[in-house]
Structure 1
Amino acid sequence: MPNPLTGDPKSHDVSEFKDSITGHCLCGSITVTIRDPTLFDGRHGHICHCANCRKVSGSFAAPNLAIEKDKVTIEDKNRTLKVYEDYETMSGNVVRRAFCSNCGSPVRSETPMYDGQGKLVIKMGMFPRIPTPEFETFADHRHPWQGKHEGVTQFKIARGGPTL
């Protein structure tokens, strides 16, 4: 496990991740590697403010990355990866939310919206550095005290819908 004093993302230059980036759950049982040399070129990923993502992340928002499945390797050395089927979604479609059953860290989500595209959503909190987000979803559900992220498109609810 990494030293807790080394958790500052600014201590990792993005050049460290020119080919891939690896992160893990809190207990280290699950390791996720993203192979995408463009991950830190421009904006990638999004911040979601929906109630379900807030609950899963344990925070006021969740940093997510929708990415092609073939660019991601998930290693589950202790077989602790479990899936919760979330039916309490705005669309009514199930979101399969995977997490470590030992430490509770969120790992990925799979949604029918991306099934046909061969994508999944990686929960970015487990990585040493997170790319600058491209957009926010459910921005209408932000807390009044949250500041605006410069250059990040805010969709009131879903991506592609009305913006703030």
Structure 2
Amino acid sequence: MPPTLTGDPKSHPNSSFIDGLTGTCLCGSITVTIKDQELFTKKRGHLCHCSNCRKSSGSFVAANLAIDSDVVEVKDRDGTLKTYDDYETGSGKKVERVFCARDGNPIMSVPEIYPGKVVLKMGIFPRIPAPEMETFSDHRHAWQGEHDGLIQYATVRGGKKFGEKE
């Protein structure tokens, strides 16, 4: 008998997250809950192509959600939550890269440049809100397709739009 596949986001209707969206690291030691009833009511989050986000996600793009830290609850059941202070950022400001020391799963980033915000790594959640934007679109791989309907910034959020002439 073939193994049961898990993780299909289509098996989790948005309505099941009205009271909160909870995700975990691979080993289950770290649990993150977002308490935001409007999480799936509009496009949220962003896809980031900067090298630091790519490295910390282990992929060609990072699915992130910048959100107020006061609506996010992090539980560290086994004391495996660790932080790497990243100063190699475009702003030169520190970004705390938070991960599980047991399984290496990225959890979130805490950017000094955005006080009161955290950037959640959306891969830990069973369902991801549709992204509203892409950042560092200039850094996409040539083979990567474009995402229609997203605001695309050449580099940082709020900066020059992708493809705009200076």
TM range (shorter): over 0.9
Give the equivalent residue in structure 1 for 2:25.
25
- Deviation string 1:91-130 (CA, Å, 9 cap, x unpaired) is 1111110000000001111112211xx1111111100010
Distance 1:81 1:90 in 2: 25
2:135 aligned residue (130, 137, 145): 137
Give the equivalent residue in structure 2 for 1:151.
149
Offset, 1:6: 2.0
**Aligned partner letter, 2:148:** E
Give the equivalent residue in structure 2 for 1:66.
66
Identity %: 59
Count the aligned residue pairs.
160
**Aligned partner letter, 2:39:** L
Offset, 1:4: 6.5
The structure that is helix-richer by fraction is 1
- Deviation string 1:21-45 (CA, Å, 9 cap, x unpaired) is 0000011000000010110011001
Distance 1:161 1:83 in 2: 28
Distance 1:4 1:99, change over 3 A: farther
TM-score normalized by the length of structure 2: 0.93
SS in 2 for 1:114: coil
**Aligned partner letter, 2:18:** K
Structure 2: runs of 5+ lacking an equivalent: none
- Deviation string 1:33-64 (CA, Å, 9 cap, x unpaired) is 00101100110011110001101100001011
Structure 1: runs of 5+ lacking an equivalent: none
Give the equivalent residue in structure 2 for 1:123.
121
Distance 2:129 2:59 in 1: 18
Distance 2:122 2:50 in 1: 16
**Aligned partner letter, 2:23:** G
Distance 2:139 2:4 in 1: 32
Q: How does 1:1-164 map to 2 (within 5 A)?
A: 5-115=5-115, 118-164=116-162
Query: What RMSD in Å do the two structures reach over aligned CA positions?
Result: 1.1
**Aligned partner letter, 1:66:** A
SS in 2 for 1:6: coil
Offset, 1:5: 1.2
Distance 2:69 2:90 in 1: 24
TM-score normalized by the length of structure 1: 0.94
**Aligned partner letter, 1:140:** D
SS in 1 for 2:36: coil
Offset, 1:18: 1.4
